[in-house]
Structure 1
Amino acid sequence: MSTQLFITPEGLQQDEKPPYSPNPVLGAIANFLSYLFHPVFVPLYVIAFLLFVEPFLFVGASGAEKVLTLGRAFINYTFFPLISVLLLKGLNLIGSIKLKERKDRIVPFIICNIWYFWIWYVWRGLPGAPHYLVVFALGVFLASSMGLLSNIYLKISMHGIGLGTATAFLCLLSFDPASSNITIYLALAMLITGLVGTSRLLLSAHTPREYYLGLGVGALGIIIANWVA
């Protein structure tokens, strides 16, 4: 919370200035976008997109195989991380499930890294798993790992990491000749990234630097994954 100084008959006084409070409608929209594009959902959206919207990576895959792949993604990217955070809160190891404090994010980062590593390891050894699927899984794990290290110094934006990973991955796919009409989805991802970033700033959840760093970490994770996978 910021402070301001003013002069009174008693001398120089300091008063706390309340944090910026957005318009209620804008605040509601910002909260909605923050929940809709929460980091535990973004990888699931990307994989669902690969399976059902732009399925050039899964040509010949049956409906059951696609559902199984999406189920694995849901368990490791969404279900286990959510349950882990709820358990941490139940054990009073974190102050809030919203992870507002930097120190509250350390253990969730570590736990999520375990699930992210596991799903990458499974997909890497799975016969017939598309190369780009393995690249994305590795990119998510690397971005989360770098996020954990960055969290030592500042409260890096998890939303930024998630959306940076997704946008960079779609950018990578756009260079593949087999993809079609990917450009419009990449533009949509960039729009969403901007809207969510604005939402986080409106809610005073992050500074611009924290959000931009999250985007950079997410993109770097995909770049490194594509290079080494």
Structure 2
Amino acid sequence: MQKKIASIISTLLHPMLMPTIGLLIIFSTQSHITFLPFEYRRLVTIIVLISTCILPLSVIPIFIQTKIIKSIHMDSSKERILPLLVTGLFFILGYYFLKKFQLPTFIPLFFLGTLVALIISLAISFFWKISIHMVGIGGVIGALIAMYIKYGVNTNMWLLICIGIAGLVGTCRLTLNAHNPYQIYAGLFLGTTAICCVVML
């Protein structure tokens, strides 16, 4: 029962959903650095959702059928390499489309930070199984920290919520024996620092 709940939570808070969830959280702060008309916000959210979630997920059945990966869980670090590479290409496509719009600087920087975190995760996956789930939620935390430090936006409430979610996700990944504690902490550190540093530049 415990593992079933952990599996459901891991699926609902999948790393491919984190850029979209992070963007929605950023928009919800209603800060001056991310102010956009509703139609623009909706369009940007759709672009991010398609490029970071829908398109990457659409190729997973092909990888399974061709035996590149055994299952959607991608239990070994080596199985993650090609899916992460393809996901990175879709991220680049999404970033290209976002740059076509006159958006507040913070939004494309947040997206660029997620791409940087993905590329580093890909490099690490050649020799170690870092937690991509924790990279995802760590990225949202990093964006919120950057908003607070660089722009003075009050993100305290969302920051506390996301830290709590990070703890929950980390616990679920450990419960499922998907990672060890070092892989959990490394993923959180990578996601947080990568996006925070890119946005702070």
TM-score interval w.r.t. the shorter chain? over 0.9
State the distance in 2 between where 1:165 and 1:63 align: 24
Aligned-pair distance for 1:159? 0.4
- 2:11 is the counterpart of 1:35: yes
Q: Deviations over 1:130-181 (max 9, x none)?
A: 111111111100000000111111111110111111111111112255624x
> Which has the larger strand fraction?
1
Select between 168-177 and 210-219 the one with higher mean Cα deviation.
168-177
State the distance in 2 between where 1:49 and 1:209 align: 28
Aligned-pair distance for 1:116? 1.4
Q: Which runs of 4+ in 1 moved over 4 A?
A: none
Aligned-pair distance for 1:73? 0.9
Taking structure 1 as the reference length, the TM-score comes to 0.81
- Note the aligned Cα RMSD (angstroms): 1.6
- 2:124 is the counterpart of 1:123: no
Matched AA of 1:165: G
1:3 counterpart residue number: none
Unaligned segments of structure 2, at least 5 residues = none
Matched AA of 2:92: F
Equivalenced residue count is 200
Taking structure 2 as the reference length, the TM-score comes to 0.92
Aligned-pair distance for 1:63? 2.2
State the distance in 2 between where 1:151 and 1:83 align: 21
State the distance in 2 between where 1:116 and 1:220 align: 19
Q: Deviations over 1:30-63 (max 9, x none)?
A: 1121111110111111111223x2232343x332
2:145–2:196 contact (8 Å) kept in structure 1? no
State the distance in 1 between where 2:138 and 2:120 align: 13
- 2:59 is the counterpart of 1:84: yes
State the distance in 2 between where 1:164 and 1:177 align: 19
Instruction: Name the SS for the 2:179 alignment partner.
Output: coil
Unaligned segments of structure 1, at least 5 residues = 1-23
Q: Deviations over 1:183-221 (max 9, x none)?
A: 011000001001110110011000011111111221232
1:5 counterpart residue number: none
1:153 counterpart residue number: 127
Matched AA of 1:158: I
1:50 counterpart residue number: 26
Structure number, greater radius of gyration: 1
2:26–2:144 contact (8 Å) kept in structure 1? no
Instruction: Name the SS for the 2:59 alignment partner.
Output: helix
2:171 counterpart residue number: 198
Q: Taking structure 1 as reference, are residues 187 and 94 closer, same or farther at Cα in structure 2, changes over 3 Å only?
A: same
2:44 counterpart residue number: 69
1:49–1:55 contact (8 Å) kept in structure 2? no
State the distance in 1 between where 2:6 and 2:80 align: 21
Aligned-pair distance for 1:78? 0.9
Superposition pairs of residues 211-222 of structure 1, within 5 angstroms: 211-222=184-195
Instruction: Name the SS for the 1:192 alignment partner.
Output: helix
Which of residues 80, 98, 118 is equivalent to 1:144?
A: 118
Matched AA of 2:97: V
State the distance in 2 between where 1:194 and 1:207 align: 14
Which of residues 143, 148, 158 is equivalent to 1:174?
A: 148
Matched AA of 2:46: G
- 2:156 is the counterpart of 1:183: yes
* Higher RCO, 1 vs 2 (CA within 8 Å, ≥6 residues apart): 2
Instruction: Name the SS for the 2:43 alignment partner.
Output: helix
State the distance in 2 between where 1:77 and 1:55 align: 23
